Amino acid sequence: MSERLRISGKNLGQLALKNFCPRCFWIRLKCGDKIPFAIFPGIFSSLDAFQKKVTNCHYEKHGRIPKWLDGFGKIGQPMKVPHHSVFRIIDPDTDVLLTGVPDEILKRRNGTLTILDYKTARFTANQDELLPLYKVQLNAYAFIAQRIGMGKVTALGLIYYEPQTDLTTDGIDAVLEDDGFEMKFRAKLLPIELNQASIPLLLHKVRQIYDRKTAPKGRNGCKDCKLMDGLVEVATK
């Protein structure tokens, strides 16, 4: 019997990237998704939490979500996002535990759901390369939401909160406070196509990779493989 495997919606999206490397992915799975020396700066968690508060506080005060979200249509009111211990499903065909925590779930008047994910970044060529990953991530959230009984998901979207860093001498006083300064962010909206049918296929691929006894061949030219080989060489000297 296969060992139960856990993967997040975001890491499932790695399979959709054009530079996907089976060897690196196998190693990551075998390490329980805990890569040595990986550091996630705390500032991004703070920004993420603040962005969620903006939407929810605006709704509490004005009875509607912020106007910049109108680009997605009338997507309704914010719902409480379930804790990660609840927002998860076990795929019965592969025995893979699929997890994740959406940034925002909104309920329309007809009861259907919109799931959004926030990115604190400018939409650049690099972000465009990551779009396949984000598409899988959001569809994984939709896949989970419907299977834990939250409702039918009818829309997905990305919101890029782009920092406004242009500053002139004439505008300096507008951003200064006695104890610091402010930075503005502008929202860029990007609708994402619903494609939940892709998720079971990717879960089967994850299971196939994980169940290998030895690492698969890496992608030609993979820089991470080269770094890993160097790390092994140093550690075994």
- What pLDDT digit, counting tens, does each position of 163-215 carry? 999 999 999 999 999 999 999 999 999 999 999 999 999 999 999 999 999 99
Which pTM was predicted? Answer: 0.92
Higher confidence at residue 80 or residue 74? Answer: 80
Strands (E), the chain: 5-8, 77-78, 88-91, 96-99, 104-107, 113-119, 153-163, 176-177, 180-181, 185-192
Lowest-confidence segment of 34-48, 68-82, 102-116 by average pLDDT: 34-48
In order of start, what are the domains of the chain with their CATH numbers? Answer: 5-235 (3.90.320)
Which residues have a Cβ under 8 Å from the Cβ of 126 and sit 6 or more positions away? none
Please state, for a pLDDT cut of 90, what percent of the chain lies above it.
Answer: 77
